[in-house]
Amino acid sequence: MKVFLSGFDTNIGNALQVVKANNTRIPFALASFYYIQKGAYDNFKTTLEHCDEMLIDSGAHSFQKGKKVPWEEYTDKYAQFIKEHDCDKILGYFEMDVDNQIGYDRVLQLRKKLLAVTDKIIPVWHKNRGIDEFKKMCHETKGNIVAVTGFRNEDIIDKQYGAFVKYAWSCGKKIHCLGMTRTKVLDKIPFDYVDSSSWKQKAVYGGMLQWDSKRRKLVDIDVPKRTLKTNDMFYQNLEAYIEFVKHYNIKWHKVNNDLHFKIGVRKLLQKLKLRRFFIYE
C-alpha cells in the first residue's frame, strides 16, 4: 500500500522550503491541477522534485458549488498540462469525475479528451454510475489504476471495500481509494493506493503529531500555545506521516508487492502479524 500525501499545493507557508533545505524525500505525493493552474506551479515543481512517485488530481471538486465552470476549457488546460509535464514519476491523472454537476455522459466525453493525451487517466467510480459500470471500467480502462472514494458512507460502506479491491485485482488493475486514511479500514483492506491531507489539516488547527513506533500509530503532542510556528508544525506532522506511510507500505507489501522502504523491514515484519484480509466480506 502506498499512502500519497496531498496538500502541498497551497497554504503551507514555507514548509516546502524546509523540505528543500533538508532534502526531505516525500515518498508519495498527490497534487491538484486546480491549485497548480491557480498559481501553485512552483509548489508542484518542488514537490515533484522531492517525491518518489506522484498522482495528479483533476481538482474539479475544488470549484465552489453553484459556480459556472467552463468544463471544456478547463479540461483542455488539464490535458495540455499532462502533455507538457508527464513523466515516469507521475503514475496517473484522475479524470474529471463531476457526475453530480454535469452528468456521467458528459464526464465520459471529457475523459476522451484526456485519454487522447495519455493512457494514464484514472477513472473514479461513484455509486450513481452503478456497479456494472465499475466492472466495465476495470475491464476497459487503458491505464493500470481505477479509483473509488473513501469518504465515510458516501459511495461505499466500509464492509464493501474488500469486494471492490478483489474485483479490480481480478482484472489486473490497481485500486486507489480517495481520501482514505481511516486506520480501522487500512488495517484490514490492502488498497494499492490511498491519499490524505491530514498531516496538513492537523497543523492548520494547531495540532502536532508524532509516530509511536511501539503502538504503530500517530499520537498527539501537547503544544503550548505560541511556542511553535505553524510552519514548524507542518514539517513535524509531515515527518510523522512519512512514518505512517512507511508503516502501511511495509505492512501490506507481501499482498501489494510494492515494498518501497527497505531499511529495518525484517525487524518490523517480525512484529507485524499479517492477517488474512478482506474480513469485511
pLDDT tens for residues 78-105?
Answer: 999 999 999 999 999 999 999 988 999 9
CA distance 183 to 188: 8
What is the phi-psi region of residue 224: left when phi exceeds 0, alpha when psi lies from -120 to 50, beta otherwise?
beta
pLDDT at 233: 85
E strand residue ranges, the chain: 2-6, 26-32, 51-57, 90-94, 121-122, 145-149, 174-178, 193-196, 208-212, 217-221
pLDDT of residue 225: 63
Q: Which amino acid is at 79?
A: A
**pLDDT number for residue 19:** 87
Please tell me the distance from the alpha carbon of residue 235 to that of residue 77, in angstroms, as a whole number: 32
Report the range of poorest mean pLDDT among 59-68, 78-87, 88-97, 266-275.
266-275
The arithmetic mean of pLDDT across residues 168-197, rounded, is 96
DSSP letter, residue 242? H
The rounded mean pLDDT for the chain is: 89
Report the distance separating Cα 15 and Cα 12, nearest Å: 6
Return d(Cα 248, Cα 86) in angstroms, integer.
27
Q: What is the mean pLDDT of residues 118-124?
A: 98
Instruction: Give the separation between CA 193 and CA 164, rounded to whole angstroms.
Output: 13
pLDDT digits (tens, 9 = 90+) for 24-41: 999 999 999 999 999 889
- Considering just the CA atoms, what is the radius of gyration of the chain in Å? 19
Q: Taking residues 158-180, report their average pLDDT.
A: 97
Instruction: Give all domains of the chain, ordered by start, each with its CATH number.
Output: 2-205 (3.20.20.80)
pLDDT tens for residues 213-262? 899 999 998 876 666 777 788 889 999 999 999 999 999 999 999 999 87
Q: Give the model's confidence band at 281: pLDDT under 50 very low, under 70 low, under 90 confident, else very high.
A: very low
pLDDT for residue 193 is more than 80 = yes
Span 133-142, mean pLDDT? 97
**Average pLDDT in the 175-195 region?**
96
pLDDT at 166: 98
Q: Grid coordinates representing 16?
A: 516546502
pLDDT at 161: 97
CB 209, CB 221: distance < 8 Å: yes
